[in-house]
Amino acid sequence: MDISLPDESGMQLTRRIREALPDTRVLIISMHSKIDYIVEAFQSGATGYVVKESAAGRLIQGLRAVTAGEYFLDSSISHEVVERLMRSPVREARVSDSDYGRLTSREQEIMRMLAEGLSKAEIAERLCISIKTVENHRSNIMKKLDLHSAMDLVRYAAKLGLIDVDLWKE
């Protein structure tokens, strides 16, 4: 089964692998040590991340960890990730809403992305689904939550604490 495309990113490929074979563990070996890349890798379904410049021993540790069902983060970058997490504000839903709880996990994921301003095409690409599927999910979300516009959706997500409106001020 050919699951890659010539111009497909490692993150897109990781998503496709995890969708097709959910029990598969993925260790990313990358030249990037920026936290944004690392976060995206794990959000895409990776279970480990190693920087190419690391010693071979780190790669072996990573392979052993993900094979054993654990997550692995190269120690050469783990302190940076922890520092960033320590600086990040804790974001929890401020309002409990039974209507939101009726959304499927995929609908909740798409709702957050829509509220953050991602286009349907961007969401489709990130989740490896069609734009039409995103549109169908959006329609279901709007019906279930009795929302009538994109602004209603953003307000609702902000009220729940799902998005950080302070980030828009930067």
Q: In the beta sheet, which residues pair with residue 49?
A: 28, 73
List the chain domain ranges. Answer: 10-87, 98-164
Q: Average pLDDT in the 128-154 region? A: 91
Judge if pTM exceeds 0.85. Answer: no
Task: Tell me which CATH code domain 98-164 carries.
Answer: 1.10.10.10
- 131-142 pLDDT per residue, tens: 999 999 999 999
For residue 76, what are its two tokens? Answer: 């050469």
- 68-98 pLDDT per residue, tens: 888 888 877 766 666 665 665 554 444 456 7
Whether CATH 1.10.3720.10 fits 10-87:
no
Which strands make up the sheet holding 72-73, listed edge to edge?
A: 27-30, 48-51, 72-73
Query: Using CA atoms, how far apart are residues 132 and 126, in angstroms rounded to an integer?
Result: 14
Please report which confidence band the pLDDT of residue 165 belongs to, taking 50, 70 and 90 as the band edges.
Answer: low
